[in-house]
Structure 1
Amino acid sequence: MRELKLRLFVTATAVLTQSLFSNVALAQDSAATQSEEEQATTGIEDIVVTATRREARLQQVPVAVTALGGDALQSADVSTVRTLTQLVPGFVGSRNMGVFQPVVRGVGSTGISIGDEPNIATYIDGVYQPESAANWIDLVEVERVEVLRGPQGTTFGRNATGGLINVITPDPSFDFRGKASLRVGRMRREAGDYDARLYVTGPISEKAAIDLSGLFRKNDGYIDDLVRGGTLGDQRVIDLRSKVLFKPADNFKVVLTGEFFDQQSTTNSPQPVDGNTAGRRFSGVILPTGPWQASLTEVPLLNLRRWTFALHTKLELGAVNLETTSGFLNLRWTQNTDSDASNLRLGNFLAIFNAESGSQEIKLSSSNPGPFQWLVGGYFYQFGGSSFLQPWTAANPTLPLAGPTLEPHLGGRSFAGFADATYEATPGLFVNLGGRYTTEKREFSQTVNGTLVVNDVDKTFNKFNYKVGLRYEISNTTNVYASWSTAFKSGVYNMASTRNVPVEPEEIKAAEFGIKSDPLNWLRVNLATYYYDYKNLQLQSKDSLGAGYILQNAANAEIYGGELELTVAPTRDLKLRGALAYTHARYKDFTAAQGFLPQADGGNTVVTLDASGNVMTRAPKWSGNVGFDWGHDLGGGRLSINGNLSFSSRLYYDFANNFSQGAYTLSNMSIGWTPESEKWKVSLWATNLTNEKVFQTMRPGALSTDGFYEQPRKIGATVEVRF
């Protein structure tokens, strides 16, 4: 069966290739007849990316990657990594307990434990961000964001099983400049939304420059508090980042980065899906009757603070470049969750996390143009952390909450060596080989109610991952590529368990075929198809009591699909974009899945069931987006109108496919005006324009199936000043 599907995959991609090539040839003949004057008024920007750990044109990179510049992100109102789902095909920006949990092509983690890193890796300026709670990233003054789809197990390595998010911020400038913006909006219940940003950069000497970016964001509560009155869902965020650039010579630079992030909120305010809570069994329960309502025992606080530091050096030695990247993270995170999502005391989960990690990478790469390009490197990573967990439950609200107090300690270290080489075997035909060997040690101890029950167990995991690829440059405007690659995520201990054995590593083998073409200077067409053989998936779900969590392996899964991205810029004034993703993601062998069957009087019966053949969680069959950017010179300035609509088919949130969010669309729009001087800009905007009621996640458990809605419609204005 697997061989049949692989043959179908190859046949389908071959047919698509033949069809596209014929169309490309015709289009290129047509493009050759365009006048220089016509070409000067149109065109699509040529983005340089680092998706292969070296700078290259987006259209020449043999990887499925969506690259978005700062202006494109701002136009689409993408202000955090979670909202990248509005522009990136095959990407789902899910969250759980205030933690960002991305999904790419059906691959994504729901773990929140220290050391249970996401299998969609996140990098900021080349530094790996290990913890789930550290990946809620505000896009404050970014140069671009690259979302790589598919395993990146060789050059990037750590936990890039399904892909990665690469955030690149600008280095400080030796020219003084800056900008400031103020954004004010309103939601339901007259909830205010305030966002103030500042960026300043300039020289501090002939050899050094500095910058400072800052964000202060505050939104009032928009979720009705049915117990205490007033509202929940308020949030306050402070994000400060500074970079210092030291360039003592033309061939050597040092960049030091420091960032502070602090969030305090009550956004962790779930409500039962369709009234599914065990609280319905008892008198006095208060149930929400509509979206954006919560009936919780306590105010659900969510506080997160992190410090990050990075040091990057680059030395150009003629034929080679030597780069080093060091990173450090300190994270503190506290959250309190109502496990039954009702005003009755049936379940509560208090979690306090403390984690630190450090990493060091050294990389040597070729720099001269030529048929042979290579890089080699080494990587070291170490982490440690502790937690305080209280998963408490009660059989009925007249009894006191009771349960264990868990104090796990987790740690580990990882060493890796990697190499990648590309050779132009014949004119236009490039052969790529890459490999990475990783050895990773995990450590765990567990204390329950003050008694040590798991005493310093550890396990080491070793793995070699590789990639083989081909790229053929049909013309200056069209490339095709194919690859076979592997990736893995090491075994993990469950911090909410007394089990002294980790779950097994998850592994993925992936075939991919793609076409990247600019058949006309105003048209870009990119197509990627893929097939995954995915084994030992690490999956988390609530336990049989409803307040804690279990972590288990699914034997294997099968995923295949494709993405199509189009960009059309027929005139200087208009750019159209669209993307469509098809994802077939099924568990192939998952005979001991944790299942939740709804009870008539609320809550769920916890069972072990066979989920083989079921759709994987958070993997919609169809998803995509369409958008436009229009501008016109008017009244001594430029008028701009931007719109974006993202859509998704049904998403399932449990292994048994009982709980799901139906198909939906979300839309944003803005209109702005900038004077000829470009010194300032004013705009009006709206997000979730049609006020869709969409669950961004659901959490089935014994005591309830609860979830969190996307924010309601928000309307506001922004003023930006440049200097």
Structure 2
Amino acid sequence: MTTTDRTAVRLSASVSALAIGLVATSSALAQSANAAQGQAAVMPPPPATTQDIVVTAQRRSERLVDVPIAVSSVSAAKLESSGVASVLNLPQTATGLRLDYSGPYVQPTIRGVGSPLVGPGLNSNVAVYVDGFYVPNPLGTDFQLLSVTGVQVLKGPQGTLFGRNATGGAILVTTSDPSFDPTMTTKISYSSFNKVNASTYMSAGSGMFAANIAAFYERGDGYITNINTGQKVSQYRKWTVHPKLLFKPSDTVSFVLGYQHSIVNDPSPFLTSSYDGLTSAQYLAPGVPIATGSKETSNGAPAKSTLNSNLVTLTGKADFGFATLSSYTQYRNDKSNLAGDYDGTIAPIMAPRWRVWDKTFTQELNLASKQGGPLTWVTGLYYYHNKNQYPGYIVTIGGGAPFEYFRSISRTKSYAAFADATYEVLDHLFLTGGLRYSVDKTQGQFLCSACGGLAGEGSKTFRKLTPRANVRYELGRATNVYFSYNKGYKSGFIPVSAFSTVPIKPEGIDAYEVGFKTARGPFHFDTSAYYYKYSNLQVAAYVNSAAVYRNAKKAEIYGGDAQISADLTRDLSLSLGVTYTHAQYKQFGDAVDYVQDTNKFLPGTDTPNPSYGLFLHPNVPVDGNVMPRSPRFSGTASADYKHKFGWGDIHLDANLFYTSKFYFDSPERFSQKRYALLNLRAGYTTPDGHFGFDVFGTNVTNSKYRIQVLPGDFAIQQVYGEPASVGASFTVHY
């Protein structure tokens, strides 16, 4: 363990101890507070029905129908029946969400708001939280949904309650805490491409302690063949172990200590083919094989993408009676090794390799009131520290010796305080107001060895107040209309991979939304319409193997979405979700385009053209263009049938995802046409519930669709999503 690691661990332990002390002290305070209140207890909330869905979109547990935010709430059972096993598959159950790749970096987009940025110290503008802990590293965002109890996708900016770079929204994943009742579930599956998946979950407890463990292992051959050798080159391996320990000294105080270790070795994000055959090798190495298909690559240099992640978390909670104090302490250490072939052929033109070291410490304290009275509120403090290091970006050009192109270190410290309250000013009329004040201190330093030793170091502090306001009127116990205003904010940064210390400005969004929600018996329905004024968009392009960052001045986004689900009978459930998005640049100016230079000689001369075959970067106007990864229409539909027989239970499930055409770039040169994904599942469970057997198919219509397009100097590279797959699983549950 390095000195830095030891320091971070000591800091984590110190803050954790402080949090524990606060929570423990709160137990005694709670007893005093309860005694002082005597009989003046607040009126309890209306009793929940079996149809109520409870979410934490406002940092406190509430019925989904009462939350004045557009939320897609997906249960663990729904994830299972839809064939959604990882974060990357979530759009198949949550309308308005897209998840694409840039290499192994995950790029979420919600309602057209998504970040095209990848590189040193850069985060997405859709925040991902697991059990209340922020996941800042886009290299570690596509994780398995292991022992998950539910997922919430919050649509629109969440600048007050989830303020750390939540311009587009937030994805909240909740996993199982230890239970005192012994339980065990083990599942093994086998499917196409020689994929073997095994997972287990166990929990038990006694006295004041309970513990659980979730473990996952998967390996497979993948579906990509190198056309140069005829060999399958997409073999991968992933595994995760995630134990938790619960300490519950009383009914009002609890602590959960968690640890997670994950290993990913999957080269597929860099096993690219060429978009329409566009690669510099067409001209620099005529006749070399060029892969263009969905299941092939022609890379000459090896592809590599590994992640070694370690995470320690401590959650403390204390019930005061009038409010609950929660403490969230996190330390995570992610290390990645990456390598690719940027011309996408066996020709020795351009091949990079690099490492990424990312360390994060976070601490949050929040105090949330009990539900039931006319006033509910939550307030909190947040601290974030991240160090991102590229210890050496190594390139090989033209078959020469590898050399270091650049190295960099980025550091970010963030402090925030927030408060949010809802008050019933009149019968059935609720007003909500919230504020968050954030201070983001960012530092960056770089050394570009390939630029003659160019070096730089810079820093910048950004401060921002982000408010929100909502008006909700309760038409009935389970029917609401609302209007909301939210301010979104994404911090600026020092663009070290552009070899510059001139800060990139923060993003901002003013979001207006009107919505309607109802839950009547077996029916749940919600719909919303939204309008966003988006300013200072952080955009990027890659020119001469270096990143170029800038702020696009203005964009406009508007649209609407709707979700309906119904238990039509005791056995049959249906759901449907649709989203319409109009996302357009209003004032961008000129954006970087990619046009291949086919002139062998400089114009009007016999002098060889040094950029022959490479991709030039003319600036083109894009005002009025559609924003990247923003399909006009997208939707999901599902049907789930289950029936109990004397000899066991059967279930039949179908899930359909659809998206219209969208673009991967601002000049609208590289696109993905419309496509649909259909997943099917059928299963049997024994009468005692202990054993289950399923057969399933994913993408059963074998749709071909791109999950990334990477424009660069040497090629326009692409990677496709997984083709049709079938398999079977066996589950044991006690």
Instruction: Answer whether TM exceeds 0.5 for this pair.
Output: yes
**1:369 aligns with one of 367, 372, 396:** 372
1-structure distance, mates of 2:482, 2:615: 48
CA contact (8 A) 1:336 1:350 kept: yes
Aligned to 2:481: 480
Q: How does 1:314-325 map to 2 (within 5 A)?
A: 314-325=317-328
Matched residues in 2 for 1:221 and 1:477: separation? 47
User: Alpha-carbon deviation of 1:340?
Assistant: 1.4
**Cα offsets for 1:42-81 (capped at 9, x unmatched):** x973221111000001111111001111111000011111
Q: State how far apart, in whole Å, the 2-side matches of 1:368 and 1:580 are.
A: 32
How far apart, in 2, do the equivalents of 1:558 and 1:699 lie? 25
Map 1:523-562 → 2, pairs under 5 A? 523-543=523-543, 545=544, 547-562=545-560
Distance verdict in 2 for CA 1:511–1:707, change over 3 Å: same
* 1:453 Cα offset (Å): 4.0
Tell me, yes or no, if the aligned pair for 1:44 and 1:523 is still in contact at 8 Å: no
**Residue 270 (1) aligns with residue 239 (2):** no
Match of 1:707 in 2: 718
User: Which residue among 609, 624, 635 is the counterpart of 1:613?
Assistant: 624
Q: Residues of 2 paired with 1:427 and 1:171: CA distance?
A: 37
Q: Of 587, 590, 599, which aligns to 1:589?
A: 587
| Deviation of 1:611 (Å) | 1.0
1:111 matched residue in structure 2: 117
**CA deviation string 1:610-662 (max 9, x = no partner):** 11110000000000111100112235111111001101011101110011000
Structure 1's 289 and 330: CA in aligned 2 closer, same or farther, altered over 3 A? closer
1:301 is aligned to 2:318:
no
Contact kept in structure 1, 2:59 and 2:368, CA below 8 Å: no
Superimposed CA distance per residue, residues 406-450 of structure 1 (whole angstroms, 9 cap, x where no aligned partner): 110110211111000100011111000000001110011111229
Paired residue for 2:562, among 561, 564, 568?
564
Q: Does the alignment pair 1:687 with 2:698?
A: yes
Question: Which AA in structure 2 matches 1:642?
Answer: D
Q: Give the secondary-structure state (helix, strand or coil) at the position aligned to 1:82.
A: helix
In terms of mean alpha carbon deviation, does 661-670 or 383-392 score higher? 383-392
Q: Deviations over 1:132-168 (max 9, x none)?
A: 1121221011111100000100011100100010011
Aligned equivalents of 2:384 and 2:393: distance in 1? 30
Residue aligned with 1:249, SS: coil
In the superposition, relative to structure 1, how do residues 569 and 162 fare at CA in structure 2: closer, same or farther (>3 Å)? Answer: same
User: Whole-Å Cα distance in 1 between the matches of residues 238 and 496 of structure 2?
Assistant: 28
* CA 600–654 in structure 1, closer or farther in 2 if over 3 Å, else same: farther
Give yes or no for contact 1:432–1:470 (8 Å, CA) kept in 2.
yes
Matches within 5 A, 1:167-566: 167-186=173-192, 191-203=193-205, 205-267=206-268, 268-281=270-283, 282-288=285-291, 290-367=293-370, 369-390=372-393, 392=395, 394=397, 397=398, 400=400, 405-449=405-449, 453-518=454-519, 520-543=520-543, 545=544, 547-566=545-564
Deviates more, 1:348-357 or 1:210-219: 348-357
Q: Over residues 530-580 of structure 1, what are the superposed CA-to-partner deviations in whole Å (9 max), with x where a residue is unaligned?
A: 10011111112222x2x4332221111110111111112110110111111
SS of residue in 2 equivalent to 1:515: strand
* Corresponding residue of 2:572: 574
Greater Cα offset, 241-250 or 400-409: 400-409
Asked if the contact 1:101/1:118 (under 8 Å) is kept, the reply is yes
Aligned with 1:406: secondary structure? strand
Please give the alpha-carbon distance, in whole angstroms, between the structure 1 residues aligned to 2:286 and 2:433. 66
Distance 1:604 1:53 in 2: 48
C-alpha distance in 1 between matches for 2:498 and 2:616: 21
> 1:139 and 2:131 equivalent?
no
Quick one: which amino acid aligns to residue 293 of structure 1?
E
Aligned residue for 2:282, secondary structure, equals helix
State the secondary structure of the residue aligned to 2:719. strand
Greater shift, 383-392 or 618-627, is seen at 383-392
Hey, what does 1:657 align to over in structure 2? 668
Report if the CA contact (8 A) 1:271-1:295 is conserved. Answer: yes
- The alpha carbon displacement at 1:291 in A equals 2.2
Aligned to 1:88: 94
Aligned mates of 1:259, 1:417 — CA distance in 2: 28
Q: What is the alpha-carbon distance in structure 2 between the residues aligned to residue 238 and residue 128 of structure 1?
A: 21
User: What amino acid is aligned across from residue 389 of structure 2 in structure 1?
Assistant: S
In 2: Cα distance, 1:476 partner to 1:274 partner: 56
1:716 aligned partner = 727
Distance 2:449 2:598 in 1: 35
Farther-moved stretch of structure 1 (138-147 vs 278-287): 278-287
Give secondary structure in 2 for the equivalent of 1:137: coil
**Contact between 2:73 and 2:151, CA under 8 Å: does it hold in 1?**
yes
CA distance in structure 1 between the aligned counterparts of 2:496 and 2:299, rounded to whole angstroms:
26
CA distance in 1: counterparts of 2:315 and 2:692, whole angstroms:
34
Cα shift at 1:343:
1.6
Higher mean alpha-carbon deviation, 53-62 vs 632-641, is at 632-641
Letter in 1 for 2:698: T
Amino acid at match of 2:723: P
- Do the aligned partners of residues 524 and 380 (structure 1) sit closer, same or farther apart at CA in structure 2, a change above 3 Å counting? same
Partner of 2:7: none
Shift of residue 669, structure 1, vs aligned partner: 0.2
Cα deviation for residue 339 of structure 1 reads 1.2
SS at match of 1:250: coil
TM-superposition CA deviations, 1:105-132 (whole Å, max 9, x none)? 0111132223211100000111111111
Moved over 6 A (4+): none
1:661-680 Cα offsets, whole Å, 9 max, x none, are 00111110011011211111
Q: Is the 8 A contact 1:97 1:335 kept in 2?
A: no
Counterpart secondary structure, 2:88: helix
Residue 377 of structure 2: SS of its match in structure 1?
strand
CA contact (8 A) 1:672 1:682 kept: yes
Amino acid at match of 2:342: S
* Cα distance in 2, alignment partners of residues 674 and 600 from structure 1: 62
Alignment deviations for residues 502-539 of structure 1 (CA, whole Å, 9 cap, x no partner)? 21111111001111112x41222110111001111111
| Sequence identity percentage | 32
CA distance in 1, matches of 2:533, 2:700: 39
Match of 2:43?
none
**Mapped contact 1:112–1:133 kept (Cα < 8 A):** no
Q: Secondary structure at the match of 1:407?
A: strand
In the aligned structure 1, how far is the partner of 2:401 from the partner of 2:514?
Answer: 54
User: 2:459–2:494: 8 Å Cα contact kept in structure 1?
Assistant: no
| 2:660/2:675 contact within 8 Å kept | yes
Counterpart contact for 2:642–2:649, Cα < 8 Å: yes
Residue 232 of structure 1 and its aligned partner are, at CA, apart by 1.9
Note if contact 2:458-2:494 (Cα within 8 Å) is conserved in structure 1.
no
Work out the CA distance in 2 between the residues paired with 1:667 and 1:558. 32
TM-score (norm 2): 0.89
- Where do 1:56-135 residues align within 5 Å? 56-135=62-141
CA distance in 2, matches of 1:509, 1:46: 31
**Alignment coverage as a number of residue pairs:** 670
Matches within 5 A, 1:149-164: 149-164=155-170
Cα gap change, 1:641/1:599 in structure 2, threshold over 3 Å: closer, same or farther? farther
1:283 CA drift (Å)? 2.4
SS at match of 2:713: coil
| TM-aligned CA deviation for residue 219 of structure 1 | 1.2
